[in-house]
Chain A
Amino acid sequence: MSGAPAVRRPYYRRMGRWWQRDPFFRRYMWREATALAVLAYALVLTLGIVCLALGEAAWQVWLAALRSPASLALHAALLAAMVLHTKTWFEIMPKTMPMIFVGERRLAATTITRCGWAAAAIATLALLALAAGWRP
């Protein structure tokens, strides 16, 4: 090298609110936020278990709390978040699983996602049917 040394002063950009940069990132952040709903529901169930263990009076308090408009609104939001979780969980599943081969053909990503959604639909219907009193 000859002449004046080149100025090397790399510039580091900040991440800032990086998730606002791209719609893909915004969808990712909504996907990750569904964990708040899963945590909230685990908390609701834990409180239910505690109330059940405390006796019938406490259990009735828990049931009454579930009937409150605030709880119904919360659970409507939790339901929406859970559905988003189910949708996105199986959308990313082809990336998180090893390659699957049926015979010599590699299973397509869309097939894996659709199988997951179908399994979730069957599980939902089965659980609803069991709750509604149907017995196999």
Chain B
Amino acid sequence: MSSGTSPPARSHAPIFWLLFGAGGMLSALFGPALVFITGIAAPLGIVIPHDLLSYPRVLALSQHWAGKSLLFVIVALFAWHAAHRLLHSLHDLGLRIGPATRLLCYGSASLLTLVSAAGLLALGF
């Protein structure tokens, strides 16, 4: 418990915590179904129609503004949720949180956010 007379500095954690919370809620609600659909059902051809992940269908989804925003929100919030939790996990494992660990975690989330945004924008409307 640190001492001192001047009030302690305000943490910027709320921004990252809000993203963590939003991504955590989204992945808790839809994560299992999404992983099952894209990673298991579609490749094995079970439960869902054969052409669900066909090029024209996914292209149409990602060119529609709603589908585009949905994909972006899922990827970005999942990434920011994971980044924030993993940063704390590094601390749990005994690493000191500093610029390097922050760059590793939040940098990874920023990269996934930027790459997915660039890809989705390149696909056009």
> Which residues in A have some Cβ–Cβ distance to B below 8 Å?
15, 19, 29, 32-33, 35-36, 38-39, 41-46, 48-50, 52-53, 56, 59-60, 63, 66-67, 71-72, 74-76, 78-79, 82-83, 85-86, 89-90, 96, 116, 119-120, 123-124, 127-128, 131-133
Contacts and interface: CB of A to CB of B under 8 A. Distances in A.
Contacts of B31: 38, 41, 82, 85-86
Contact of A79 (B21, B39, B44, B85): B39
A15 B94 contact: yes
Q: Is the interface of A mostly helix, strand, loop or mixed?
A: helix
Interface in B71-104: 71, 74-75, 78-79, 81-83, 85-86, 88-89, 92, 94
Q: Binding site of B, secondary structure by majority: helix, strand, loop or mixed? A: helix
A75 B35 contact: yes
A17 B58 CA distance: 46
A83 B29 CA distance: 10
Chain B interface residue number, banded: 35 or more
Contacts, number: 159
Interface of B: 21, 23-25, 27-44, 47-49, 52-53, 55, 58-59, 62, 71, 74-75, 78-79, 81-83, 85-86, 88-89, 92, 94, 108, 112, 115-116, 119-120, 122-123
